Amino acid sequence: MRLDDAHVLVTGASSGIGAATARALAGTGARLTLAGRDRERLAAVSAATGGRVLVCDVTTQAADLASRAGHVDVLVNNAGVGWAGPFVDMPDGSAEQVLAVNLAAPIALTRLLLPGMVAAGRGHVVFVASIAGAVGVAREAVYSASKAGLLAFAEGLRHELHAVPGVGVSVLLPGVVDTPFFVRRGAPYTRGWPAPIAPERVARAIVASIRHGRPESFVPGWLRLPARLRGAAPGPFRRLARRFG
């Protein structure tokens, strides 16, 4: 898909992957709308990219966001939250919040904006998922479930749109990314391996997935191996996962 003069809506655009994606798209000729909850951070990203700012909460204001954004050629569903720790210790309401932001909100926003793309015969929907959704991660059970649901939704939607010319669906499965995500979830990343990657690397993959219609992108690419191993040989995969985390 050509991005010059395409209207792109990026959710969770105030920092991390969303902000990096906005910067990556700024050089393509796309017209940007940046959505998020932090007005000051969004303003900084807007100053660097020329994007229009829409302050909102995607969990409660999806309809308002879609209305204010207008017709969108590309939707990047990036907003996300996490929680880490034993599932039995998860505070009341935390699971519901993770599912609302990571799964329900992207589905709702896509439902609102996809009809315009189909009618125009041109569009692309991107879902920023996680390798956690493909393999499941200990102490992040609900987060893993939310991203797994996103993967399944994207796959089903892709099959539905197979006969619709000009409209594509891409899903990104990043590993550990060096963003404020871990601080905000209340548990910093402490493992020595794998090392966190820069959000700009994920942003480049997002732009490439739109341009080339890639259905699925692992970032970094080697993450495809554990995801495939889990499907092909679940027993050995589980033994390795318990040994190495």
Largest CA distance in the chain: 50
Q: What are phi and psi of 177, to 5 degrees?
A: -115, 140
- Contact (Cβ atoms closer than 8 angstroms) between residue 181 and residue 80: yes
* Distances in whole angstroms, Cα of residue 180 to Cα of each of 164, 177, 217: 38, 9, 22
Q: One of 83, 127, 143, 218 is an active-site residue; which one?
A: 143
User: Around 138, how many Cα atoms within 13 Å sit in the side-chain half-sphere?
Assistant: 6
Residue 230: HSE in the Cβ half-sphere, 13 Å Cα cutoff = 14
Q: Report the C-alpha gap between 245 and 242 in whole angstroms.
A: 5
- 165: tokens are 């010319």
Query: Closest Cα partner for 11 from 90, 94, 81?
Result: 81
Backbone conformation region of residue 18, classed left if phi is above 0, alpha if psi is from -120 to 50, else beta: alpha
Strands across the sheet with 216-219, in order? 52-55, 31-36, 7-11, 74-77, 123-128, 167-174, 216-219
| Residue entry with tokens 């990026």 | 10
Active site residue 189: no
Q: Which positions are catalytic?
A: 143
